[in-house]
Amino acid sequence: MAETGYYDVLGVSKDASRQDIKKAYQKLAKQWHPDVNKAPEAEERFKKIAEAYETLGNEEKRKAYNEAAKYGFGRGPSGGSASWGAPGEGWSGSYSFGGADIPDGDLFEMFFGSRGAADRTGFDFNPGGRRPGTGGFAGVMGGMGGMMEARLDITLEQAYKGGAVTVQAGERTVTVNIPPRSGDGTVISVPGSGDRGRRGEDEMLIILNIRAHETYEVSGGDLRGILQIAPWQAVLGGAVKVSLPDGSAVKLKIPAGIRSGRTLRIPGKGLKRENGSYGDVLFDIELVVPEHVSEAEKQLYRQLEHSSSFQAGAKKRGAEDKRRGAAAG
């Protein structure tokens, strides 16, 4: 079946969420990138995929595209000049890919991945692939009117603290000012060398992509981690200091009698959401039995065993569990 629109190209429904569109794009781009897929049609296919995501991944462009689609491709709402052509025909931006090998790890480091330097984040707009001496892939997704869009990988610490990040864009060194506590997908406009009051052809839209973090998972504006506690902390409660991505510490109170699987919340300390509010920092409780226990500790556990009224045994199923089991059967 021939593809008739951007939704068909990405294989998503017209009511797909922004996250669903992003996931579909990443999956298809990984499959069809010319450095991975050697099929003759791979280059053209990859170009269509990038084109579709460039429009559907932007809320304003998606809205305009949906409006134009009501009247058919190639016509505006009033039958005027063409807005979009069919996929592969109406893409007005630039596109390039390099012939060099893709670095190990996530394929999507091709869009300005890690350079291996802590103090310099970089990407390259050269239409030839790699710059000598760099380890990341050079790539460009063209924007409407010649405006360029690019993804920039940053650490969670950079996103949380904000500040200026130096990047290399072709022959130019560009400074990207990241607002503090920027969320994943934040778009930052970097003016070109022309009139700063207008969107010139060399203006860039930088889309922030927060890398995976060793402690926190980014979920919208929320930061979610796992807090490991000992059995006695679960029974008695207490307090623990947890570090935020900017290096500051917050005291987190552990309620007495907390169980594994419960969640503790630090409100308003997450990243900025699309609606302008700030997300929360969430810690899921994980009860941990210490791997190494001293003889003195074992003696205390023996005393607890003899004095406690708790008896181990199979848990009785509640009414809700029974209903789920009957439905599954």
Residues 204, 195: contact at Cβ < 8 Å?
Answer: no
How far apart CA 117 and CA 162 sit, in angstroms, is 18
CA-angle at 182, arms to 266 and 28, nearest 5°: 110
* 255: CB partners within 8 A, 6+ apart: 237
Residues 50, 111: contact at Cβ < 8 Å?
Answer: no
Confidence at residue 99, expressed as pLDDT on a 0 to 100 scale: 31
Q: What share of the chain is helix, strand, coil (3-state, %, to 5)?
A: 25, 20, 50
How far apart CA 185 and CA 183 sit, in angstroms, is 6
Confidence at residue 327, expressed as pLDDT on a 0 to 100 scale: 60
Q: How far is CA 126 from CA 48, 99, 148, 168, in A?
A: 20, 12, 12, 10
For 241, the enclosing helix (H) or strand (E) is strand 238-243
Q: How far is CA 303 from CA 2, 296, 306, 308, in A?
A: 73, 11, 5, 8
How far apart CA 154 and CA 162 sit, in angstroms, is 10
Residues 182, 271: contact at Cβ < 8 Å?
Answer: yes
How far apart CA 113 and CA 103 sit, in angstroms, is 9
* 272: CB partners within 8 A, 6+ apart: 179, 181, 182, 183, 186, 221, 278, 279
CA-angle at 58, arms to 282 and 17, nearest 5°: 55
What are the DSSP calls for 139-206, one per residue?
Answer: -EEE-GGG-EEEEEEE-HHHHHH-EEEEEEETTEEEEEEEPTTPPTT-EEEE--SS-TTS--TT-EEE
Confidence at residue 106, expressed as pLDDT on a 0 to 100 scale: 35
What does residue 239 show for φ and ψ, rounded to 5 degrees? -145, 150
pTM beyond 0.75: the answer is no
Largest CA distance in the chain: 85
Confidence at residue 58, expressed as pLDDT on a 0 to 100 scale: 87
Q: What is the pLDDT along the chain (329 residues), one digit of tens a residue?
A: 344 689 999 999 989 998 889 889 888 988 888 777 888 888 888 888 888 888 898 888 888 888 777 655 433 333 333 334 444 443 333 333 333 333 333 333 333 333 333 334 444 333 333 332 222 222 344 444 445 677 889 999 999 999 998 887 667 778 899 999 999 989 888 876 444 444 444 667 888 999 999 999 999 899 999 999 999 999 999 999 999 999 999 999 999 999 988 999 999 999 999 888 999 999 999 999 888 889 999 999 899 889 988 888 998 887 666 666 666 55
For 287, the enclosing helix (H) or strand (E) is strand 281-287
Radius of gyration of the chain (CA): 26
